[in-house]
């Protein structure tokens, strides 16, 4: 079977399984099975599919039919132009989170703290973009921290990053001029309505704190004060309906210059604040 034929069959299978982006997912999985970049697949569609690639493609298709996310199957996700390792122990870095990166890069920083670092995508990206900066990434999940360390090493910023286990700021020492976080913010009531790729495959610890979804912001608001330099910035990702509530929590904690900012789709996505001083 040539690759083009395998691709057509795969796209039909994924569509029948209810996968919305069936054609695109089939292309990514076929490129993965063939060991080539997805951007080069068109050049190889007339190639015969080796037996080993057929086996790998079938396994990948079966996993996708079971609604496992493509990033977990192929083991990586492109984020801010860089490839990050992804496993079931971490959230799949999402395009919406790039709004946080853009906001953080809008001003200089020398030392950054990433709360709930997960794959390390936020911290690693910020340090890669600012070669003189250093940072700390914390998470309660040791498997997630291992993924973050792998990404930091693979993208060449490991000497400038420290990853450690901490329940938010509980084990954090020192002050930072930038603190960032993409914390769990999905409410307990919303979990059942999530897509199977998220609900059944991504770590619930990184998705929801339960309840109204705001517990992580409460912990951050209560804990960041001693760790923000005077004038330092706090930037967090939020769910699109949480802007006012998170802004109120930050105001009550004594932070100032609080703003709710949208993502590229126009939905509220990040809240920024400053430490007075």
- Confidence band, pLDDT 50/70/90 cuts, at residue 178: very high
Q: What is the pTM of this model?
A: 0.94
CATH class of 88-274: alpha beta
pLDDT at position 277 over 90: no
pLDDT of residue 117: 98
pLDDT of residue 23: 97
- Of residues 6, 8, 11, the one with CA closest to residue 48: 6
Reported residue count of the chain is 277
CA 231/CA 122 separation, integer angstroms: 21
**Host H or E run for residue 32:** helix 22-34
| Residue boundaries of the structural domains of the chain | 3-66, 88-274
Q: What is the distance, to the nearest Å, from the Cα of residue 128 to the centroid of all Cα atoms in its chain?
A: 16
Q: Which residues contact 92 (CB under 8 A, 6 or more apart)?
A: 69, 71, 72, 77, 86, 202
What would the pLDDT profile of 208-235 be if each residue is shown by its tens digit? 999 999 999 999 999 999 999 999 999 9
In order of 8, 25, 123, 237, the CA distances from 217 in angstroms are 46, 34, 19, 10
> What mean pLDDT is predicted for residues 78-107?
96
Q: Considering the chain, what percentage of its residues have pLDDT values greater than 90?
A: 99
Q: Considering the chain, what percentage of its residues have pLDDT values greater than 70?
A: 100
> What mean pLDDT is predicted for residues 18-42?
96
What would the pLDDT profile of 50-75 be if each residue is shown by its tens digit? 999 999 999 999 999 999 999 999 99
pLDDT at position 171 over 90: yes
pLDDT of residue 121: 98
Averaged pLDDT of the chain: 97
Q: Which residues contact 204 (CB under 8 A, 6 or more apart)?
A: 191
CA 90/CA 182 separation, integer angstroms: 12
């Amino acid at each position: 079977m040539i690759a083009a034929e395998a691709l057509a069959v795969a796209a039909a299978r994924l569509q029948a399984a209810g996968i919305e982006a069936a054609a695109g997912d089939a292309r990514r999985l076929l490129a993965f099975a063939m060991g080539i970049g997805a951007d080069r697949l068109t050049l190889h569609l007339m190639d015969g599919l080796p037996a080993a690639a057929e086996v790998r493609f079938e396994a990948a298709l079966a996993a996708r039919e079971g609604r496992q996310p493509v990033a977990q199957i192929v083991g990586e996700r492109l984020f801010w132009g860089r490839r990050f390792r992804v496993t079931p122990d971490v959230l799949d870095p999402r395009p919406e989170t790039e709004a946080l990166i853009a906001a953080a890069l809008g001003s200089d920083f020398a030392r950054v703290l990433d709360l709930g670092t997960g794959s390390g995508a936020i911290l690693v990206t910020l340090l890669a973009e600012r070669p003189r900066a250093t940072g700390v990434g914390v998470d309660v999940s040791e498997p997630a921290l291992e993924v973050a360390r792998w990404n930091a090493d693979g993208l060449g910023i490991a000497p400038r990053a420290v990853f450690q286990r901490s329940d938010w700021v509980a084990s954090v020492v020192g002050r930072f001029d930038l603190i960032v976080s993409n914390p769990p913010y999905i409410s307990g009531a919303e979990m059942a309505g999530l897509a199977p790729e998220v609900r059944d495959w991504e770590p619930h610890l990184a998705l929801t704190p339960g309840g109204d979804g705001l517990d992580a912001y409460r912990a951050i608001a209560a804990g960041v004060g001693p760790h923000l330099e005077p004038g330092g910035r706090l930037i967090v990702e939020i769910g699109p309906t949480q802007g006012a509530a998170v802004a109120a929590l930050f105001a009550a904690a004594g932070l100032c210059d609080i703003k709710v900012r949208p993502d590229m789709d126009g939905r509220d996505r990040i809240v920024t604040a400053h430490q007075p001083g």
